[in-house]
Structure 1
């Protein structure tokens, strides 16, 4: 097991629940959220169809780079732009898109396994 995985198993921010205003993480409420194994930050995303690499720069700066990126597309499943998926895959980062509630639950499960991932969660409403 790589050292970063041993050091980060089940550590970092976890989405503890949902409110009418957004995601509950470590005592804060976020309407939209960027997650890394190290931190949670509020986010002002564009509509999913306009999402570009520049909107994800804080996640792409993670070292080592994430295994893959979970994109929570809001209250329902939507597909991110194919150009974005291709650009991430060219960097060696896999992409999984799903509605934001499912993305938050997936984040918690995979972080519990110590996976080195990142997530971009769009608003729930």
Structure 2
């Protein structure tokens, strides 16, 4: 699916997604990712079944208000103990499928929210 860009330059914006990839500012990215407004990195989380607290603790460095966890092609919920460090720091965590996380990221970014998407590949 192609999405339309509506924000200014210099911000990471999801412009599309498909099987196994997302487009950020019209550039294709495969694999698991951490995306903030100005940073993009591979996420060391191998898959949903292997998620550990350490995978979510790495997100603290981004200092987000909210983390959008994209669980892949279908919505799956992570046990709260895995993201307890985020909750204890006052950071909200929302679980949704990766496509919904991409769309929600763009909306929150347009509202100038400090949002981070932690995405498992679709």
**Which TM-score band (shorter chain)?**
0.7 to 0.9
| Residue 58 of structure 1, CA deviation | 4.4
Residue 23 of structure 1: how far off its partner (Å): 0.5
Offset of 1:42 from its aligned partner? 2.6
TM-score where L is the length of structure 2: 0.80
| Structure 1 unaligned blocks of 5 or more | 1-8
Cα distance between partner residues in 2 of 1:19 and 1:79: 21
CA spacing shift, 1:78–1:67, aligned 2, 3 Å: same
| Match among 110, 113, 119 for residue 112 of structure 1 | 110
SS at match of 2:46: coil
Q: CA deviation at 1:73?
A: 0.4
Shift of 1:103: 0.4
Match of 1:74 among 57, 72, 75: 72
Is contact 2:64-2:91 (8 Å) kept? Answer: yes
Ranges in structure 2 where 5+ consecutive residues have no aligned partner: 1-6
- Count of residues paired in the alignment: 114
Q: Indicate how the Cα distance of structure 1 residues 35 and 95 shifts in structure 2: closer, same or farther if over 3 A, else same.
A: same
Cα RMSD between the aligned structures?
2.0
The residue aligned with 2:39 is 39
- In the aligned structure 2, how far is the partner of 1:123 from the partner of 1:72? 8
- Give the C-alpha shift of residue 91 in structure 1: 1.5
Q: Give the CA deviation at 1:57.
A: 4.6
Shift of 1:69: 0.6
